[in-house]
Chains A and B, each alone.
Chain A
Amino acid sequence: MLLVRDVLDKQMVDRHGNRMNKVDGLVIRWGDGEPPRVVYLEAGALTLARRLGRRLGGWASRLARRWGGEHTESYRIPWNRVRAVSLEVSVDVDAAETRVNVVEDWLRMHVVEHIPGGRK
């Protein structure tokens, strides 16, 4: 398995087969005298902004600290939750119980449900 070819930017699907973001970033830990290890998958706009450039990344982090409430970093999924890597990356979490969908949920509650026909 090659991390960039096979994991980065792939579609993540949760335990129930629901789409939950792409793998926006990987967190790798270098220990003393240990080989580097992937510890987290990252999902979030902040990670994406950092990938586009250092200045944009810095600007996005400041914005997140200012307006993001308690969410000042991208959502992280521990590597040991990864179940399978094929065309998709299956992770053993329930998307509904995580904060990977904070933006989605906020938009549903504050915008979509206020538009006629937007409520189920």
Chain B
Amino acid sequence: MKRLVEIALGIVTGIGGFLEAGSLATAAQAGADFRFDLIWALILGAGCLAFLVEMCGRLSAISKHTVPDAIRERFGFRFFMVPLVIMQLVMFLVMATELGGVGIALQLISGVSYRWWCVPVGLLAWALLWKGTFGLVEKGVSVLGLVTLAFVVGAFHLHPPLAGVLHGAVPRLPSHDGAHYWFLAVSILGASISPYLFFFYSAGAVEDRWDVSQLSINRITAGAGMGFGGIVAIGALVLAAVVLHPAGIKVDSFEQLPLLLTSALGHWGFILFVASLAVACFGAAQEIALTSAYLMAQGFGWRWSENLPPSDDARFSLTYTLMTAVACLPALAGVDVLKLTNISMVVSAASLPVVVMPLLVIMNDRRYLRDYCNGWFANGVVGAIVLLAFVLAVVSFPLMIAGGG
């Protein structure tokens, strides 16, 4: 029974945690511009994420060390500085996006500009971290995140052509606007395979005191959770393909996106959209703020745990405090949230190699994983993901310039 609850919780975590500002916006843009043609990118992204997340969980369950711990310990301080600096920058951009996303959701219901919402939202996110525990953040995000299933319900409601959807699951060359197509493909992969998730997940496994007995649950959480999470994003893409594409609507702001659900579910669709956007972005913002602190604390060897009161891990708590404060600034300054989203997804994709490549080495180190090192299959998959990550890193910025508009 306890097992079943844990498995259910794992799946709920996947569903509730997958969608955030980046994956929603990129999926909607892809559906609006290329109908079902980019579904394969979401499937590829969710698949890669499932593999990588499973490895991070396994590493932490067996060694009680997290991914940043292992990067610092295995590759030394000088190397560690590279992912540290790059990831803090990426997390700043993505967190600013998420706070902007919550702001937009509140703007949609209140009419008050998102600019004025980011500070109260940031304060609330911070206060919950300051007073709350890891379990509160983890379970809160996942359970409330189930509201995003509205995208799947909405998509079924509009009876999309099944043949078209399945057709889109196979990678293909673009029929038009090649640069924009590949730009969106890269953005979708960047949004799905978010590097901050690996750090968050591996820290979470240590926070929840996983051991060898959790390995099967880890595999199910990673596989089924990310699988179901990917389906939510596919739901958003399908909705955009059915609602926005025929009307010739290009997504150029978040404010257009409620259309996705209002055409399927009416007024309730509007409410569900606002709730989904707010909850998904709020949860992601909290996870990113925490991950920023995990990365610092684990890299430098500080005491850390979201379950300790802030006075017991002052540096850790002040790191997420600072990150939250700084991440409020772009939205407060009135930066366009959709543009910020697209930039952060591309930067996120470009940052993948510095995280994934060390993982390939660590997952084969018997001092960490004892008898649970990667087998040939897992190594083959990570090898392929490393290659993909390098391709993404190289093509992301040129594509943003060529096809970003």
Check A12 against B315 for contact (C-beta < 8 Å): no
Query: A107 and B318 in contact (CB under 8 A), knowing A9-B72, A19-B303, A118-B311?
Result: yes
Measured as residues with beta carbon below 8 angstroms from the partner, the interface class of chain B is 20 to 34
Give the chain A neighbours of B73 by CB distance below 8 A.
9-11, 22, 87
Stretch binding the partner chain, chosen from A66-74, A76-84, A108-116: A108-116
Stretch binding the partner chain, chosen from B74-82, B253-261, B351-359: B74-82
Decide if A52 is an interface residue (CB 8 Å cutoff): yes
Check A22 against B314 for contact (C-beta < 8 Å): no
Measured as residues with beta carbon below 8 angstroms from the partner, the interface class of chain A is 20 to 34
Give the chain B neighbours of A87 by CB distance below 8 A.
63-65, 73, 367-368
Residues of A within 8 A of B (CB): 4, 8-12, 18-22, 24, 43, 48, 51-52, 87, 103-105, 107-108, 111-113, 115, 117-120
Query: A104 and B301 in contact (CB under 8 A), knowing A9-B72, A24-B77, A87-B63?
Result: no
Chain A's nearest CB lies how many Å from the CB of B263? 44
Majority secondary structure, A binding face: mixed
Q: Which one, A4, A24, A112, contacts B311 given CB within 8 A?
A: A112
Instruction: Give A43's nearest chain B residue, CB to CB.
Output: B301
Q: What are 22 pairs between A and B in contact, CB < 8 Å?
A: A4-B76, A12-B301, A22-B72, A22-B73, A22-B300, A43-B301, A51-B78, A52-B78, A52-B81, A87-B64, A87-B65, A87-B73, A103-B315, A104-B313, A105-B314, A112-B317, A113-B311, A115-B130, A115-B310, A117-B127, A119-B311, A120-B312
Check B130 against A117 for contact (C-beta < 8 Å): yes
* Cross-chain pair count, CB within 8 angstroms: 78
Chain A's nearest CB lies how many Å from the CB of B215? 18
Give the chain A neighbours of B63 by CB distance below 8 A.
87
Chain B's nearest CB lies how many Å from the CB of A74? 13
Check B77 against A108 for contact (C-beta < 8 Å): no
Q: Complex: how many Å from CA A27 to CA B81?
A: 22
Give the chain B neighbours of A43 by CB distance below 8 A.
301
Check A21 against B311 for contact (C-beta < 8 Å): no
Check A107 against B315 for contact (C-beta < 8 Å): yes
Give the chain A neighbours of B304 by CB distance below 8 A.
19
Tell me which residues from 290 to 312 in chain B have a Cβ below 8 Å from any Cβ of chain A. 299-304, 309-312
Check A117 against B303 for contact (C-beta < 8 Å): no
Q: Which one, A11, A20, A51, A111, contacts B318 given CB within 8 A?
A: A111
Check A9 against B76 for contact (C-beta < 8 Å): yes
Q: Complex: how many Å from CA A105 to CA B311?
A: 9
Q: Complex: how many Å from CA A112 to CA B300?
A: 20
Check A117 against B310 for contact (C-beta < 8 Å): yes
Decide if B69 is an interface residue (CB 8 Å cutoff): yes
12 further contact pairs, Cβ within 8 A, besides A9-B76, A52-B77: A4-B76, A9-B72, A10-B73, A22-B301, A52-B78, A52-B81, A87-B64, A107-B315, A111-B314, A112-B318, A115-B321, A120-B309
